[in-house]
Chains A and B, each alone.
Chain A
Amino acid sequence: MKVMVCLKQVPHQDARLDVNSDGTWIQEDNIKFEINSYDTYAIEEALRLKDAGDAEVVVVSIGPDRVTQALRTALGMGADRAVHVNDAAAQGADALGTAKILAAVAKEEGADVIFTGLMADDDNASAIPPMVAELLDMPSATGVTATEISEASIKVERELEGGALEVVELPKPCLIAIQTGANQVRYASLKGIMQAKKKPVDVKTLADLGVADSAGHAHNKATINKISVPAKGDTAEILEGSTDEIVTQLVGKIKELGLL
């Protein structure tokens, strides 16, 4: 069985973010990056399948050279191979463009199961996993907190609003977008890290994958016009006093605003 995990490298949660000079993205120089936290659970879920039986785990990521580090980390955790789509033309891809690239890799790999994180820490879009599944014409489940695999299908538990759980069974091949906390993510072992540099990383371009349009892009109709830091307001009010006094004041404020 071949299991593919899509992972995104995002700015480290402690990184200090500044807007770049043309105001369209963050300044990426000299900041630390890490694997999107949702994706780490996806990697763990795939590695559990590998631990339990005969599965090859292939990790896939799109991005510049720095992405190698994220892929090596996943290889250090136990993934077998990596595919790195390293193409400047992929930089401006919108969600559908990214999904097209990932779907092309999945098709080439012949993945039986695709794991992704539910969303990315940086843009919180949640758009790509269902798009990839749709492009590949395979069923998908999002917000997955538990999986149980059998020969031909995977049974999953999904989180619904209000704390309810839904149990769904998907025939393979399928795509599963994992929720954080679904499992306990392992650390890359020291031996695993030392062996990771010997594991294969295939570098691909959009042309290699056959997803480049006449301008060389996968799909980039949605573009980011501007990003900005919200202006600081001065409307915060600090309530002071004992706990009881603070609670009384707080309830008063809520009533004042007509919220109760």
Chain B
Amino acid sequence: MIEWSESQLMIRDAVRRFVEAEIAPHVEELEHGDLPPYDILRKMYAAFGMDEMARARFAKQIEAEKSGAMRKLRSDSEGDAEARADQAAASLIPIIELCRYCPGMVTALGVSVGLTASAILSKGTIEQKERWGLDILTLEKIGAWAITEPGSGSDAFGGMRASARREGDEFVLNGSKTFITNGPFADTTVFICKLEENDVDLRDRRILNFVLDRGMPGFEQSAPLRKMGMHSSPTGELFVTDVRVGMDRLLGGEKALGKTGGGREGAKGTFQTERSGVAAMALGIVDRCLELSLKYARERVQFGRPIGEYQLIQDKLARMEVARMNLQNLVFRTIELSARGKTMTFAEASAMKLYAARAAVEVAMEAVQVYGGNGYMSEYVVEQFARDAKVLQIYAGTDEIQIRAIAKDLLRG
């Protein structure tokens, strides 16, 4: 893939039109007010038939699982490379376009339909998928994926203290989670914790995933936390105190208790998907920062000339364009891999995420610099991207964790 196809450009234009008409006028309330992003995201889903597409995909998957024909489903969808490319593009283009105005909305959306629904769809039983998965995939309900704790970030599983104590056929859940995207508003939360096993070291205990509904006794969702950027994505804390649940809320049911691998398997796949989404986010941020910087470089006159005529500004613009081209090529590669039914290696996804996050931060900070004093003011928008971009180096695995993954892979030889 060397360029967007005609239908991909149509998708881009349609989504951009929606973003400019429906989101741009609300950026102020989303970023600096109390407007949660969900209703606008639902409107986007309805406008582009994304809810219907999700419903159709879900029905197909469940039907295939029920008839034990998952392998056939996979080989069928591998058949038409062009359709697969369009589908991959159709999921990445809205990310890019939303990030041109409101990267936080992608975080809120991605955590709900990406992480939370994916966790339920990959780990849950058919009953659990039908009970919780579909509503999250269609955005009828909002999901949160609760892994991070005050004492565990990069060392997510090792340092995790949240626990599930087995009492007969029930579990008693305890623990607190933080930095949970959608935490304050989620209808459905996947709560990740460790099975209490007295004879096993805390670090090595089995990881279990439970589904919690809003309002369950003992389950408290905090108000949104104040943070540096991504204001349109509500982030909160979750407190779980002696929440009693049955086997029906343990993802995978009884089988999850007997699995080998301690419940950590599958996490890499989740991280991989998350990491390729970050490249699309970075592309949206860089694309808009470049567009805004070009506009300002043409219009802003200092010492009698537009600042775009000065080489120091030209250097910044050229570097932004290099980053944009690289990111676009990474997105193209992601689409091309999907079209061919291939997935990126874990190390490659990490390398892509590392580059994308750093490029977005560098470009957004340089956009502020091009705008000078105006860039430091909210009115000129670029400062929002500088604040928003920073989290790309932190969430979905910090830069340092990506470097470790890349280096480990290289040294393995």
Give 4 closest A-B pairs by Cβ, nearest first. Answer: A189-B49, A187-B47, A190-B90, A193-B10
- Within 8 Å of chain A (Cβ to Cβ): is B294? no
B 33-55 contacts with A by CB, 8 A: 47-50, 52-53
Q: Tell me, yes or no, whether B257 is within 8 Å of chain A by CB.
A: no
Partner of A69, one of B6, B17, B18: B6
Q: Closest approach, in angstroms, between the C-beta of B98 and any C-beta of chain A?
A: 14
Number of A-B contacts (CB under 8 A): 48
Given the complex, which residues of A lie within 8 Å of B83, measured CB to CB? 194
Question: Which one, B7, B14, B90, contacts A187 given CB within 8 A?
Answer: B14
* B86 within 8 A of partner (CB): yes
Residue of A nearest to B10 (CB): A193
For residue A197, CB closer than 8 A to chain B, the reply is yes
Chain A: interface residue total (CB-CB under 8 A):
15
B contact face: mostly helix, strand, loop, or mixed: helix
CB nearest neighbor in B for A186: B47
User: How far is A196 from B5 in the complex, measured between Cα atoms in Å?
Assistant: 13
Shortest distance from the beta carbon of A146 to any chain B beta carbon, whole Å: 22
A-side contacts of B10, CB under 8 Å: 69, 72-73, 76, 188, 193, 196
CA distance A196 to B52 in the complex (A): 17
5 CB < 8 A contacts A-B: A73-B10, A187-B48, A189-B49, A191-B53, A197-B6
Assess whether B6 is in contact with A188, with CB atoms less than 8 Å apart: no
Q: What count of chain B residues pass the 8 Å CB interface test?
A: 19
Q: Contact check: which of A72, A189, A190 meets B6 at CB < 8 Å? A: A72
Is A192 engaged at the interface, CB distance under 8 Å to the other chain?
A: yes
B11 at the interface (CB under 8 A from A): yes
B residues contacting A by CB (< 8 A) are 6-7, 9-11, 13-14, 17-18, 47-50, 52-53, 83, 86-87, 90
CA distance A76 to B90 in the complex (A): 14
CB A223 to nearest CB in B, in angstroms, measures 33
B47 and A194 within 8 A (CB): no
Q: Are B86 and A188 in contact (CB under 8 A)?
A: no
Q: List B contacts of A196 (CB < 8 A).
A: 7, 10
Q: What separation, in Å, do the CA atoms of A187 and B10 have in the docked complex?
A: 11
Q: How far is the CB of B56 from chain A (nearest CB, A)?
A: 8
Interface string of A28-69 (1 = CB under 8 A from B): 000000000000000000000000000000000000000001
Task: Tell me the smallest distance from the CB of A66 to a CB of chain B, in Å.
Answer: 11
In the complex, the answer to whether A194 meets B52 with C-beta atoms within 8 Å is: no
Q: Which A residues between 165 and 218 are near B, CB-CB below 8 angstroms? A: 186-194, 196-197
CB neighbours of A197 from chain B (8 A):
6-7
What's the least CB distance linking B159 to chain A, in Å? 40
State whether A193 touches B47 (Cβ < 8 A).
Answer: no
Tell me, in angstroms, the Cα distance from A76 to B52 when the chains sit together. 15
Question: In the complex, A186 Cα to B51 Cα: how many Å?
Answer: 15
| Chain A residues whose CB sits within 8 angstroms of the CB of B48 once the complex forms | 187-190
Q: What's the Cα separation between A191 and B87 when bound, in Å?
A: 9
Q: How far is the CB of A240 from chain B (nearest CB, A)?
A: 22
Q: Give chain B residues whose Cβ lies under 8 Å from the Cβ of A76.
A: 7, 10, 14
Output the residue of A69, A76, A189, A192 with the most chain B CB within 10 A: A189
The docked-state distance in angstroms from the alpha carbon of A191 to that of B52 is: 9
- The residue in chain B whose Cβ has the minimal distance to the Cβ of A196 is B7
Inter-chain CA distance A191–B7, complex, in Å, is 10
Find chain B residues with CB under 8 A from A186 CB. Answer: 47
Bound Cα distance from A189 to B86, whole angstroms: 13
Q: A69-B6, A196-B7, A197-B6 are in contact. Are A190 and B53 (CB under 8 A)?
A: yes
